[in-house]
Chains A and B, each alone.
Chain A
Amino acid sequence: MREAAAWTPVALLGALGALALGAAVLDGVLVAGPRRGGAADPFREVARLLVQQRRRTLLADTLLVRTGVYGLLLVAVLAGVVLPLGDRPVADLAAGVVWFNAMEVCAWGALWLTGWGVNSVYPLVGGYRFVAQGVAYELPHMFALITAALGAGSLRVGDVVAAQRGLWFAVWMPVALAVYLVSAVAMAFWGPMDGPVAPDIAGGVRAELSGPDRLVFQAGRYTLLAVVAAAAVPLFLGGGAGPVLPPWLWTSLKTVAVLALLVWIGYGLPTVRMDRFMWLSWLVLIPAALLQLLVVAIVVL
């Protein structure tokens, strides 16, 4: 394991914060419409949530709610620990891909705890929707990650980046990238997969959150979206590789591109309900991912 540097945590927090804010600004602009001042919405929202009165529902389990809300942000940041910022991540773990997967699965628990703890119907329904969504997307997601790891013959994210020096994985395992992007959207409960926080259940899991709880939750949500977008870069898009510009700039540009794509998708597609989607993820996405895995395994041999 390479020596970790002390500046990397700061860089990670700064990068994730900037990406999350950028995603929020883009979403604000899309929702408000062109030339309607939506770009400032996230900042006004932060201001509002800081001065908003704190609120507690009837017999809410505040410890569970705070654990869930903080946990969402925590797992997002922890998942980003293995992603290279330029040429080195915060911690280049030998099983970095597994770490990434394990961290973002903890988001299931975080979101469900929030939905359960507030003692209200709509968040409860939202929390269970997220667990259903998790069961649907997690296996295709894992297969996509394994495909990338197989292509590099290693679970260390640095090795996956190094293995793409000749050719990006996105080029010869496109199905894995597509499956990864779908599962990334589902994992971050964004866009077409926003069932847990959907408008038809009055905002779902965040329906009863206000003030600092809501602020941390929203921060966690956007950070999770930023992390899953950022993870696509070292795993499938070659990491920091590219001519002329330094690696950290290439990483940033690619991450911003993927993140913008995900935010835009979130605005332009209807919400997918899990009772219709479940068979698709088990009978279309998993076999497709498996076929891709077979192809990659044959190539690697």
Chain B
Amino acid sequence: MEPWTVVLGLLGALTAGVLAVYTASLLLAPPGTLEAGPFLSGARPREHALSRFHVRWYTVTLLFLAFDMEMVFMYPWAVVVAEVGVSAVVEMFAFLGLLMAGVVYAWREGALRWA
């Protein structure tokens, strides 16, 4: 059997299971939906929580993006190192060294601290 068929079958079974849970809740729980405000320790909301959230660690995400792009190269590299030999190791670790230098720079600039 094709692997993808099996995976689709798995997805189907899982979806059916989750739908069964929701159906069971429809049958067993009291009808209707409770409209309840967000939990604010006993107060009513004064504004919606959906708002622009100040993510103070955004510099780390830029650093993460750089490394993540490099990861795209690392996965195939792991497969071919044994064949290509020393040059593969040297080149990849030189690349990683450069990136780590960037990380150290970011650390010294305080990008990893935001509290």
Contacts and interface: CB of A to CB of B under 8 A. Distances in A.
A contacts B directly (C-beta below 8 A):
yes
Interface in B12-56: 13-14, 17-18, 21-22, 24-25, 28-30, 32-41, 45, 48-50, 53, 55
Contact of B6 (A8, A70, A95, A300): A8
A24 to B, nearest CB: 16
B1 A6 contact: yes
A149 B9 contact: no
A53 B1 CA distance: 43
Contacts of A54: 25, 29, 32-34
Contacts of B5: 4
A9 B10 contact: yes
Contacts of B9: 6, 9
Interface in A127-146: 128, 131-132, 135-136, 138-139, 142-143, 146
A49 B53 CA distance: 31
Contacts of A216: 18, 21
A120 interface: yes
Given A77-B10, A91-B6, A57 B37 contact: yes
Interface residues of A, number: 77
A208 B14 contact: no
A52 B39 CA distance: 18
Contacts of A73: 14, 18
Interface stretch (A180-188, A241-249, A279-287): A279-287
Interface in A201-241: 202, 207-208, 211-212, 215-216
Interface string B48-91: 11100101010011011001100100110011011001100100
A258 interface: no
Given A212-B25, A290-B100, 14 more contacts: A54-B25, A70-B18, A91-B3, A91-B4, A95-B75, A116-B50, A118-B38, A146-B78, A154-B79, A208-B38, A282-B63, A283-B104, A283-B107, A300-B82
Nearest 4 A/B pairs, CB to CB: A120-B38, A9-B10, A91-B3, A212-B25
22 contacts: A4-B2, A8-B6, A9-B9, A50-B21, A50-B25, A50-B28, A54-B34, A58-B35, A73-B14, A73-B18, A119-B38, A132-B57, A138-B64, A139-B71, A146-B75, A146-B78, A212-B21, A216-B18, A279-B112, A282-B112, A290-B93, A294-B89
Interface of A: 1, 3-6, 8-10, 12-13, 49-59, 70, 73-74, 77-78, 81, 90-93, 95, 97-98, 116, 118-122, 124, 128, 131-132, 135-136, 138-139, 142-143, 146, 149-150, 153-155, 202, 207-208, 211-212, 215-216, 274-275, 278-279, 282-283, 286-287, 290, 294, 297-298, 300-301
